[in-house]
Structure 1
Amino acid sequence: MPTRALNPLNSILAEDLRLLLEQRHHNPGAILGRHLDGAQCTVRIRIPGARAAWLLPSKDPMTRWDDTDLFFWKGPTEHLPVHYTYQWEDESGAVQERTDAYTFPLLLSDEALGQFHHGKHLHVWQMLGAHIQTIDGIRGTLFAVWAPNAERVSVVGDFNDWDGRIHPMHNRGYTGVWELFIPEVSEGCLYKFEIRSRPHSTLLVKTDPYGRAFEMRPGTAARVCGSSMYRWRDSDWMSQRDGWQHKPISIYEVHLGSWRRHADGRFLDYRELADELIPYVQQLGFTHIELLPITEHPLDASWGYQTTGFFAPTSRHGDPDGLREFVDRCHQAGIGVYLDWVPGHFPRDGFGLARFDGSALYEHEDWRRGEHREWGTLVFNYARNEVRGFLISSALYWLEEFHIDGLRVDAVASMLYLDYSRGPGEWLPNRHGGNEHLEAVDFLRELNTVTHREAPGSVTIAEESTAWPQVTRPTYVGGLGFSMKWNMGWMHDTLRYMSKDPIYRHYEHQDLTFGLLYAFSENFVLPFSHDEVVHGKGSMWQKMPGDEWQKMANLRLLYTYMLTYPGKKLLFMGSEMAQPWEWRHDESLPWDQQADPRRQGLMRLLGDLNRLYREWPALHGQDFAADGFSWIDCHDAAQSVIAYRRMCGPDEVVVVLNFTPIPRAGYRVGVPRAGWYREVLNSDAEIYGGSNRGNAGGVASDALPWMDHPHSLSVTLPPLGGIILRHTGSAS
């Protein structure tokens, strides 16, 4: 047995050897690998569990140092290639072979590392994470991770028996990044990072924050992902998606895991979803699909809102190229795709971002800034350059790599206010003593500036429920820079009103009219989202008062109101078929309910409304402008009727809505022009399941001034129904 006095180890400081063997060394390349000394070289390799080891191709035996798992060889430099392999006999007697990872140079450039450190690298996923490369003709994977407070970081995976002694990484100094190129690690291999925390010597095993694919839950390892070979065919769509402000946007919000499943409960994959979801959305007339978060997440019941893979489509539905194909096929079918994206918080799962290197790295150290106790989650530290870079890179990743058309940013209100859902003593004021989260504001402005610049035609949509000013105004005028914002006030007022028995609605008439006081202060989306059909709130059908006929009539009236009101539209899946119960994330929609003729009628109405909304500029061209809307009458609380005009240039429609079950014949409505007004839609039509009360196709105007208009119409208003009229100029 060799002694400690052997020359190949005399040149190594005893402290370095101790740190290496204790798995604490931050620079393993200083000891391991091939080291030249004139015409001689020394090779040192750590091989846990080896009985004996030798170098190839010469099969020179290596010497074990004392009773450790460190082997060495010394000989002429010319006898050994730069990148050599070695074999060893393990404890079972089997012979294994590996190329030494410590013969390869550092690969990450100082420039890129500096950009990352200063938060200026917009595509960090191209640097950190796992990337297949070929170095000196040898194919392998470059691993890189940010862990500035780690004493040692190792790559562990199914290629090294998850043993942190085999592949410790090189530290890149002040940037806090660790890297290692491991030859022969290929696409599909599973991996994590084993991190020894410097402050507490805690040993952590973490999944890759920049992982681009993960194993199926409950497993949490990242999967080495090769470069995509997918060939996009949506260039026409991508080049024409700008100008969204004046285009129709009617969004079908979808949770892919529960929209439809196989009979045995298995999830549909992305390609199967493309086959089934796209024609369904086309039939209903929606212009966009919005996906509840498909960023990887460990818990189905979180619906994706507790994300652990900010760069990975969930493996529940297949591989990343499957998602690319889904989006591509949507675009080719004329359907845009938005993605719910969650930069406001992240879960505490031990394998994820929480105290990633043993310190509060992605989150704040102080719980008064770093925790959402109500949600049991942690809050990102937006003041940290690397954290902002992580999030902005994530946003660009989805927009660029998957051609996503827009990000709906979750829980923006929780980001803007330091005292959000916090009581006295549970939050820290900003430097001015206020409750505004100034660093989060700066982050959101940077996010919107960067995404709009780097991904032309893409949008960002804020889920923001407060009166924070200028959410959808440009950053250069002091706004947050979002494209659109959910109109939560309109949604709450409308659902509160619609839930009332019609006999009491005249007392709540302001719920229908108040929203127009602020309707054009922001670029609004009108949302009936997943949040309104869970947690005991009842489905949209359950919210409606009355017997079954009245419930369905109320829903038809509600959707007529939404599709003709100023703003873009959003409806959660299942609401189109009057789902009889709340959404259940762990099962399919009740597709058998579509056999009900009343539900078929509701879906037919929604499809017709969406088509009118898409085809007529009056209903979408001025969604964000006051000159696209004009009240005809907003004061008829006694009869619970409202009437208004929607306009865009010469295109104009008249909308009259009756929120009581009383048919109203001879109801007079003022109009600006004389002539024939065709009834282009009646929500009470028989084909929609209604009573067929209406105006026999249209009505001629009278030369009778009414409601400050020079002409008027005498119309029949259906019970719990709405009509849309369009001036045609003649009775033909």
Structure 2
Amino acid sequence: MSSSKDLGAVKQALLPEQQDIEALISAQHRDPFAVLGPHPDGQGGQVIRAFLPGALSVKVVARDSDDLLGSLHGTDVAGLFAAHFDHTQPYRLRINWAGAEQTSEDPYSFGPLLGEMDLYLFAEGNHRDLSSCLGAQVMSVDGVPGVRFAVWAPNARRVSVVGDFNIWDGRRHPMRLRHPSGVWEIFIPRLEAGEAYKYEILGEHGILPLKADPMALATQLPPDTASKVASPLAVDWQDSAWMEGRAEYHRPDKPLSIYELHVGSWQCEVDDVGDVERQYSWQELAERLIPYVTQLGFTHIELMPIMEHPFGGSWGYQPLSQFAPTARYGSPDDFGAFVNACHVAGIGVILDWVPAHFPNDAHGLAQFDGTALYEYADPREGFHQDWNTLIYNLGRTEVHGFMLASALHWLKHFHIDGLRVDAVASMLYRDYSRKAGEWVPNRLGGRENLEAIDFLRHLNDVVALEAPGALMIAEESTAWPGVSQSTEHGGLGFSYKWNMGWMHDSLHYIQQDPLYRAHHHNELSFGLVYAWSERFILPISHDEVVHGKHSLIDKMPGDRWQKFANLRAYLSFMWTHPGKKLLFMGCEFGQWREWNHDQQLDWYLLQYPEHQGVQKLVGDLNRLYRDFAALHDQDDAPQGFQWLIGDDATNSVYAWLRWSKDGSPLLVVANFTPVPREGYRIGVPFAGTWHEVLNSDAGLYAGSNYGNGGGVVSDDLPSHGQGCSVALNLPPLGVLVLQPMG
């Protein structure tokens, strides 16, 4: 390869076929590697071709030195350069552009990149580490640093990667199609992390809007929509003790108390009049959030979706980048460092994750290669009427595997402790929120979405193997059986299900004027009828404090004092009821205003004693919940709960025992009227002193401080099926928790 011959003498040998030339010029060539790059001449030499629209000249230099090997000659085709070389050796192209010179290896000198096993597992829908395979991967090939791009677009006629590095010209880097997987790939040498890019796709009916990478590991900051080449994740993980003990912390008989928050509106930097100037970064959030959550005693935080999403008003529930943390708060490394800091502080991190649907933005997954690729083609299956979104076709193996890999990406690469799977009910039923004639029955003629059911079961089985100890939580609002039952016993395999029925009934009850609560008495007790049919989380989530539903405290009836007393009683009822706990930010201190994702919480309210009291109560409830096994270690077992009084509708009083596995009880008594009740008799299982471990009406919570002076001594008077009893002073709109002493 030490000399180049005159182009005119070997013109026919150098130029490709006319149809190849025309396809290159029009950016429609399905196999550019067959034409561009080095091609042996059969006699020990090679022809090198490069299609570089806009280039002025092209020289060929040795890869391992600056030795000039020759030049590629311009041809009659603008932008097409070619030359014959007597010898073959690795080379670089020195390209002279108007005002700039670029030296790099030839992308078309590299052979196929992805391994056959990777492609096989992807096509099978079972590639467990797809985020290290497809997308933009910073790597070296044959010792040359650069970025390997790979994207699935089986029905495309041509796919190019475009960005600032090629002035967004789809003619410059058309990709190689790997049959039969439908994956297109190319390695661009010398490209570095931080580059913005998209895919230019030629579909059956022409060029599509530029598409962001479905497998992007990083993105531009919205409203910009390009993907970004991400460096390999480099987090200084110091959470080995947490990760090793996580499976133990997450057992069903352990406390689980979750603080749900929206990252962008929990706390922000504000100006003098309280308007948001900017959102905090992951590091700034960690510095503020972790001490706060620790002080309040929550075991976990749950972040509303932080996968990149184009519209902030969707709160993250319409994500387009299922593998990229949003750029709003920092880099992927920054997010990893945030998770690490939480773990070091003993706080678990759960992410909301959305496999049910995706937005129809032109740069996203919709009609990705000109066909319904990620979504069902039939709008009766693929269009979500409620949310104006598209529904993943989880019956397609590649889509099934794509979403499976997304879940594992967060759990494994970012050490996430659990996923709360959004909108499971909409996945399970083909007729979800549809009228007759608006849905397509399954292959058996039924309404169940068999493909989604198979996916959820497979997902939960794989997570159990690949991320031991991780929690899988279903937001599921119907009576679907066995959501939290193992797949081997016919269930869906989730760790927990949100108890939407309890949420609905209890909130409906607590919003009633106490005068009328007697008529709704069973709404608080009904949850105990089915409390052990699943492993439940009791959710007071963001959905309950938006869209005109009022904040939690503003749902409460009565004057200001009664609203706070009702709120304290309700939270105490929730924390002493069977089921794990979830509370949305702001509810823990009684924010009056509905949650607004564009404003931070009303922290100024904490200057008032009533709001301080609610916050202190939540902290004490969490400590009580964690310290007393009776409140958590038999949450999913009927022997952990015993009614004492469930039928006193006249007084709106309830009383029950929570039992630990070792036989230690706590007595819980709730009075949901504003009337103090003196000497109210309740049967108890043990004689002696019963110590008051919590009174939601205590003065330190800004209550009226009506109670029992710290405890009572039992009387030898049988009551409520028990051999002895206690006479309690029940505070107005209050909950008492008592522990037997000795």
TM-score scaled to structure 2, two decimals?
0.96
Report the Cα offset of residue 3 of structure 1: 7.8
What is the aligned partner in structure 1 of residue 159 from structure 2? 153
**Within the alignment, does 1:722 sit opposite 2:726 as a pair?**
no
Q: Aligned residues, how many?
A: 723
What is the aligned partner in structure 2 of residue 86 from structure 1? 94
Q: 2:484 is paired with a residue of what secondary structure? A: coil
1:668-714 deviation line (CA, Å, top 9, x unaligned): 01111111100011000000000000000000011111011111000
1:325-363 deviation line (CA, Å, top 9, x unaligned): 111111111111100000000000111111111100000
Q: 2:365 aligns with which of 328, 348, 353?
A: 353
What is the aligned partner in structure 2 of residue 706 from structure 1? 719
Report the Cα offset of residue 601 of structure 1: 0.6
Q: 1:713 and 1:153 mapped to 2: Cα distance? A: 77
What is the aligned partner in structure 1 of residue 19 from structure 2? 15
Q: 1:115 aligns with which of 101, 106, 121?
A: 121
What is the aligned partner in structure 2 of residue 668 from structure 1? 681
Q: 1:171 aligns with which of 166, 171, 177?
A: 177
Native 8 Å contact 1:605 1:688 kept in 2? yes
Report the Cα offset of residue 54 of structure 1: 2.5
Report the Cα offset of residue 135 of structure 1: 1.8
Deviates more, 1:201-210 or 1:555-564: 201-210
What is the aligned partner in structure 1 of residue 708 from structure 2? 695
Q: 1:227 and 1:479 mapped to 2: Cα distance? A: 37
Deviates more, 1:29-38 or 1:681-690: 29-38
Q: 1:344 aligns with which of 348, 356, 359?
A: 356
Q: 1:134 and 1:525 mapped to 2: Cα distance? A: 47
What is the aligned partner in structure 1 of residue 262 from structure 2? 255
What is the aligned partner in structure 2 of residue 480 from structure 1? 492
Q: 1:45 aligns with which of 47, 50, 53?
A: 50
1:15-70 deviation line (CA, Å, top 9, x unaligned): 22222221111211111011111232111111111233332342733222214211
Q: Which amino acid aligns with 1:202?
A: I
Q: 2:218 is paired with a residue of what secondary structure? A: coil
Native 8 Å contact 2:94 2:101 kept in 1? no
What is the aligned partner in structure 1 of residue 477 from structure 2? 465
Q: 2:294 and 2:234 mapped to 1: Cα distance? A: 28
Q: 2:140 and 2:97 mapped to 1: Cα distance? A: 28
What is the aligned partner in structure 2 of residue 653 from structure 1? 666
Report the Cα offset of residue 2 of structure 1: 7.5
Q: 1:203 and 1:569 mapped to 2: Cα distance? A: 46
**Within the alignment, does 1:63 sit opposite 2:112 as a pair?**
no
1:479-520 deviation line (CA, Å, top 9, x unaligned): 000000000000000000000000000000010111110000
What is the aligned partner in structure 1 of residue 376 from structure 2? 364
What is the aligned partner in structure 1 of residue 3 from structure 2? none
What is the aligned partner in structure 1 of residue 214 from structure 2? 209
Q: 1:174 is paired with a residue of what secondary structure? A: coil
Report the Cα offset of residue 228 of structure 1: 2.0
Deviates more, 1:34-43 or 1:290-299: 34-43
1:574-595 deviation line (CA, Å, top 9, x unaligned): 0011111100001110111111
Runs of 4+ displaced beyond 4 Å: 1-5
**Within the alignment, does 1:448 sit opposite 2:460 as a pair?**
yes
Q: Cα distance 1:294–1:14, how it changes in 2: closer, same or farther (>3 A)?
A: same
What is the aligned partner in structure 2 of residue 131 from structure 1? 137
Q: 2:447 aligns with which of 432, 435, 440?
A: 435
Identity, in percent, stands at 52
Report the Cα offset of residue 126 of structure 1: 1.2
Deviates more, 1:20-29 or 1:659-668: 20-29
Q: 1:448 and 1:51 mapped to 2: Cα distance? A: 56
Q: 2:417 aligns with which of 388, 405, 420?
A: 405
Q: Can you give the 5+ residue segments of structure 1 that lack an aligned partner in the other structure?
A: none
- Counterparts of 1:573-652 in structure 2 under 5 Å? 573-648=585-660, 649-652=662-665
Deviates more, 1:115-124 or 1:273-282: 115-124
Q: 2:268 is paired with a residue of what secondary structure? A: coil
Q: Which amino acid aligns with 1:237?
A: W
Q: 2:620 is paired with a residue of what secondary structure? A: helix
What is the RMSD computed on CA atoms of the aligned residues? Answer: 1.4
Q: 1:559 aligns with which of 546, 549, 571?
A: 571
Q: 1:627 is paired with a residue of what secondary structure? A: helix
**Within the alignment, does 1:381 sit opposite 2:393 as a pair?**
yes
Q: 1:699 and 1:89 mapped to 2: Cα distance? A: 89
Report the Cα offset of residue 428 of structure 1: 0.5
What is the aligned partner in structure 1 of residue 64 from structure 2? none
Report the Cα offset of residue 650 of structure 1: 2.7
What is the aligned partner in structure 2 of residue 240 from structure 1? 245
Q: 2:97 and 2:233 mapped to 1: Cα distance? A: 38
Native 8 Å contact 1:354 1:362 kept in 2? yes
Q: 1:415 and 1:670 mapped to 2: Cα distance? A: 47
Report the Cα offset of residue 5 of structure 1: 8.4
What is the aligned partner in structure 1 of residue 273 from structure 2? none
Native 8 Å contact 2:257 2:582 kept in 1? yes
Q: Which amino acid aligns with 1:723?
A: L
Report the Cα offset of residue 230 of structure 1: 1.6
Deviates more, 1:337-346 or 1:258-267: 258-267
Q: 1:420 is paired with a residue of what secondary structure? A: coil
Q: Which amino acid aligns with 2:301?
A: I
1:159-212 deviation line (CA, Å, top 9, x unaligned): 111111111100001100011010011111111111111x21233311111111
**Within the alignment, does 1:224 sit opposite 2:229 as a pair?**
yes
1:115-155 deviation line (CA, Å, top 9, x unaligned): 11011211111110111111222110110000000110111
1:59-84 deviation line (CA, Å, top 9, x unaligned): 73322221421111112225xx4132
Q: 1:156 is paired with a residue of what secondary structure? A: strand
1:260-307 deviation line (CA, Å, top 9, x unaligned): 111252111111111100000111111110000000111110100000
Q: 1:140 is paired with a residue of what secondary structure? A: strand
Q: 2:180 is paired with a residue of what secondary structure? A: helix
What is the aligned partner in structure 2 of residue 309 from structure 1? 321
Native 8 Å contact 1:677 1:698 kept in 2? yes
Q: 1:449 and 1:622 mapped to 2: Cα distance? A: 25
Q: 1:321 and 1:240 mapped to 2: Cα distance? A: 24
Q: 1:706 and 1:218 mapped to 2: Cα distance? A: 66
Native 8 Å contact 1:347 1:378 kept in 2? yes
Q: 1:204 is paired with a residue of what secondary structure? A: coil
1:385-417 deviation line (CA, Å, top 9, x unaligned): 000100000000000011111000000000000
Q: 1:454 and 1:51 mapped to 2: Cα distance? A: 53
Native 8 Å contact 1:259 1:573 kept in 2? yes
What is the aligned partner in structure 1 of residue 517 from structure 2? 505
Native 8 Å contact 1:265 1:587 kept in 2? no
- Counterparts of 1:277-296 in structure 2 under 5 Å? 277-296=289-308
Q: 1:186 aligns with which of 181, 188, 192?
A: 192
TM-score scaled to structure 1, two decimals?
0.97
Q: 1:266 is paired with a residue of what secondary structure? A: strand
Q: 1:437 and 1:102 mapped to 2: Cα distance? A: 44
Native 8 Å contact 1:3 1:66 kept in 2? no
What is the aligned partner in structure 2 of residue 396 from structure 1? 408
Q: Which amino acid aligns with 2:73?
A: T
Native 8 Å contact 2:460 2:472 kept in 1? yes
Q: 2:57 and 2:94 mapped to 1: Cα distance? A: 11
Q: 1:539 aligns with which of 551, 573, 582?
A: 551
Native 8 Å contact 1:43 1:74 kept in 2? yes
Native 8 Å contact 1:196 1:204 kept in 2? no
Q: Which amino acid aligns with 2:678?
A: A
